[in-house]
Amino acid sequence: MNTDIPLYLSKDQLNQQFPFNILRHTSKALKQTLHAHEYVQIAYVLKGACSHQLRGKTITASRGDVFIIAPGVEHSFNAIEGKSYEMVLLDFMPSLVQEHLKPYTDSLQPFLQKSDGEGGGLPQLWLHFGKDRQQFVEQLLQDIQDEFEHREAGYEYAARISLAKLLILIDREFRKERRKPTKQPVLAEQNPIDEVKRYIYDNYSQDIPLERGAMIANMAPSYFSHVFKKETGQTFIDFMNEVRIERAMELIQRDSHTITHIGFQVGFHHLSHFIRTFKKRTGLTPTEYKKTFGTTNQ
């Protein structure tokens, strides 16, 4: 590890009898310098978006993103100008959950062991939970926070169990990701853009910056942008908006929500942007489309 990078020690940051801490960041002024910890840190984004510098990459992190920062790994979180966010940080020593994770020693150990700072040999430390898993993850985090704040008898054990559950869930999601290439080895190796497209189809309702797609494809953002357009015939943003509009068309045909609600549901933050993009794609405004294709007109 770079000796100029600050290293936060467990004896200064954590209780030695119960080496664990949980806190939330919401400050729009968050600006960290590169640093490392002697302990493990799990970071989960609850709302909004922020910037995470990790292993020499700058990642725009948003809801559902979770990072395991192993001891010795250099990183920093920073607020993005004009964007709000809420993040949960869990700091703990690996020994706290070692007994509960014995069946997962081979798969989870690399995430919890000390790094030389270069990240060599370590597995991917970033994971995105889809909407179907976010509620479960966030409930686990709330359970841990409640135990830690109220500190009723046995809170240490309850918090430790919930932390172990969270790590096991992360482990299973990583296993699922690693299994994907074995199902379609040629496709995964030769066309990482398909992985990005699948990610967009699964997460179109959320903010998906180009940097996220680049990271999934394991490419530099500028090169990824070029390759994506070459293979799809569309820019990253245009493709994502097309997926959103196609989903909006399905929802409008069902006639179950207002136009405003549907726009937000498929990932548009402003109604005017939704209407403009919808008309560009279909030649009709959402209201005109509803009048023509809504179930009440069929």
Last residue of a domain, one of 151, 182, 213: 182
Kindly state the helix (H) or strand (E) to which residue 9 belongs, with its residue range. Answer: none
- Closest residue by Cα to residue 88 from 32, 33, 6, 145: 145
- Is 228 inside a domain boundary? yes
- Is 1 inside a domain boundary? no
- Is 81 inside a domain boundary? yes
Total domains in the fold of the chain: 2
Q: How far apart are CA 241 and CA 161, in angstroms?
A: 41
Kindly state the helix (H) or strand (E) to which residue 46 belongs, with its residue range. Answer: strand 40-54
- Is 154 inside a domain boundary? yes
Q: How far apart are CA 183 and CA 186, in angstroms?
A: 9
CB atoms near residue 109 (< 10 Å)? 12
Are 24 and 86 found together in one domain?
yes
Last residue of a domain, one of 116, 151, 182: 182
Tens of pLDDT, residue by residue, the chain (298 residues): 556 789 999 999 999 999 999 999 887 778 889 999 999 999 999 988 788 888 777 777 878 889 999 898 889 998 887 778 899 999 999 999 888 888 776 777 777 777 554 444 444 567 878 777 888 999 999 999 999 999 999 999 999 999 999 998 888 877 776 655 433 433 334 478 888 988 898 889 888 999 889 888 888 888 899 999 988 888 999 999 999 998 898 889 887 789 999 999 999 989 999 999 999 888 889 999 888 877 655 4
Domain that residue 217 falls in: 184-298
CB atoms near residue 157 (< 10 Å)? 10
Q: Give Dmax (Cα) for the chain.
A: 70
Q: How far apart are CA 131 and CA 241, in angstroms?
A: 19
Query: Against a cut of 0.75, is the pTM above it?
Result: no
Are 188 and 203 found together in one domain?
yes
Which CATH number characterizes residue 248's domain? 1.10.10.60
Q: How far apart are CA 45 and CA 35, in angstroms?
A: 19
Are 243 and 208 found together in one domain?
yes
